[in-house]
Structure 1
């Protein structure tokens, strides 16, 4: 069931900040929680970090797990404790936590280098799906793709035992976060450039097809994280920008010219933070938005110890928000 965000009955609520925790690194782009309440993230200098004690920010501890030698973005914990990493410079990686070893699983597809891997999930049968946000722009010029609206994002699959990934879906508008349904019958893909979530069927007669899942989101979706309660948290990296929507309706030449300006102009994100919670029916369970946030460019969200943790491509730490357990369980939605 596809729905428009504006047509749901979910309650929108302002985010209530509790603390900012510096982590000694810039741009914790993705945050995921492990089974012990710790949070994993990657930062711009290539390190993968583990954060402990965020529920008590003054006692938080930061531990370096590995250095990818590139720029880690999306993360996925595996059942054996190892970590999959989408590295924007090196491709799809596997980090062995026991000895900090980093191994490249895929760095090209069809002879084309993977230069902007974004997010990754692993299914119970060992199949790995991951996104490439843009085939035209690298991470340091990401804004060019959003402005030009290239539609060169991809969803890729790496089957168990295979050495090379295959393309599952093309033509995505800045493919970003990924989350599987509870029964793994479909994937949800964030298309940042179109402010929507797309469903990709993996099983049944519709396997291989896609359709809108949630449209007209109140901001630009980035990474997604499925919590133990089965709900998907979708980070909103920025608000809806009317001028950008209008530009996307212009011709290719106009968009290309605008992108050349955008990648050269100084960038500073707006004071906006947002997270939406979605269920497997495509309903918005809850919307949390702050239009005057001091923590900017929220690219990921997870819940640990009843607190909402936000990551950002822009900031030098993570944000810890007040207890959100009742809301995230849907008790305050109408």
Structure 2
């Protein structure tokens, strides 16, 4: 059964009612919507679950044996899975069969496969958040500011190719509505980068949106043609200072007990951008019963959210 959380108007942003839908596994990090409205998510127990918005009983589709994060649809109807431990996978809906599409780049295992988008020609665009730290040490990568994140592409039948590197915790990936460019979130530096696929700037990159009010996580193209962005936590001044501190100081902080490290604030906030990088929607809700939105999917006016820390999905209606 879903719970409705009514949030106050916060900072002049749009007010929405948040509906919370429990999931059998921990940390329902991303969300994907099927043609019939069914929501799919991957959890910390390695399982992929299907969830009905009407409150019907969720069911287990299959398991990756790792830590599934970003989810997308492949042209043949299989679910593409970015698994932080196992790499780029896909799964059959009917049997739960899992195949490994890519787990190495130039012969070196990926450390933190995170999020993806699939273009109409079957090319998979995906991120490897860090070449130094894995998902269990995601805070360490942000503190160290390793800038080893990458945007990669995988052509059908090909091998992964790096198209952008030097990214500060590469995270969410989305295609523009005309698929002329790919947008990738840099969580550590609070910005969105754009890589041009076609046109006179093809092969080049620039900044799509900078100085965001919060740290972006997963992003996704919506059925409304907009690029939806989750804000996992507001801008953290302490983290920003640490990233500019001498390496010795960052090393000391990284080794501190978890409770003493910078921690995401308890919020729920998402925004939607048009292809020019202009904000169209900015929505914040009460975070008392559900927080830390890390996955987002707009589908026919309903916005679904996933969370790295919550055993539940959530949604709100735009209308």
TM value normalised by structure 2: 0.91
Within a 5 Å distance, the mapping from 1:21-170 to structure 2 comes to 21-52=21-52, 54=53, 56=54, 59-162=55-158, 164-170=159-165
Cα RMSD, aligned residues only: 2.0
Cα shift readout 1:250-305 (whole Å, capped 9, x = no counterpart): 23333233222265857864221110111111001111124754322110122346
Q: CA deviation at 1:111?
A: 1.8
Partner residue in 2 for 1:301: 296
Counterparts of 1:32 and 1:275 in 2: how far apart (Å)?
16
Partners of 1:188 and 1:198 within 8 A in 2: yes
Counterparts of 2:313 and 2:266 in 1: how far apart (Å)?
15
Q: CA deviation at 1:209?
A: 1.6
Partners of 2:239 and 2:262 within 8 A in 1: no
Partner residue in 1 for 2:5: none
Instruction: Tell which deviates more after alignment, 148-157 or 200-209.
Output: 200-209
Q: CA deviation at 1:178?
A: 0.4
TM value normalised by structure 1: 0.87
Partners of 1:12 and 1:289 within 8 A in 2: no
The answer to whether residue 274 in structure 2 is matched with residue 279 in structure 1 is yes
Counterparts of 1:174 and 1:183 in 2: how far apart (Å)?
26
Secondary structure of the structure 1 residue equivalent to 2:255 = helix
Counterparts of 2:141 and 2:34 in 1: how far apart (Å)?
32
Partner residue in 2 for 1:324: 318
Q: CA deviation at 1:232?
A: 1.3
Gaps of 5+ in 2: 1-10
Within a 5 Å distance, the mapping from 1:183-198 to structure 2 comes to 183-198=178-193
Counterparts of 2:117 and 2:18 in 1: how far apart (Å)?
30
Count residues in correspondence. 309
Cα shift readout 1:217-271 (whole Å, capped 9, x = no counterpart): 1111011121111011101111111111122222333323322226585786422
Counterparts of 1:304 and 1:234 in 2: how far apart (Å)?
14
Of structures 1 and 2, the one with the larger relative CO (CA 8 A, separation 6+) is: 1
Counterparts of 1:262 and 1:142 in 2: how far apart (Å)?
14
Counterparts of 2:84 and 2:18 in 1: how far apart (Å)?
31
Partner residue in 1 for 2:8: none
Alignment CA distance shift 1:14-1:72 (3 Å): same
Secondary structure of the structure 1 residue equivalent to 2:117 = strand
Q: CA deviation at 1:171?
A: 0.3
Alignment CA distance shift 1:203-1:304 (3 Å): closer
Instruction: Tell which deviates more after alignment, 294-303 or 273-282.
Output: 294-303
Cα shift readout 1:168-213 (whole Å, capped 9, x = no counterpart): 1110000000001122111000000011111111123322221111
Equivalent position to 1:211, from 201, 206, 213 = 206
Cα shift readout 1:33-60 (whole Å, capped 9, x = no counterpart): 22211111100111111111x1x3xx33
Counterparts of 1:291 and 1:271 in 2: how far apart (Å)?
9
Counterparts of 1:232 and 1:12 in 2: how far apart (Å)?
21
Equivalent position to 2:177, from 159, 163, 182 = 182
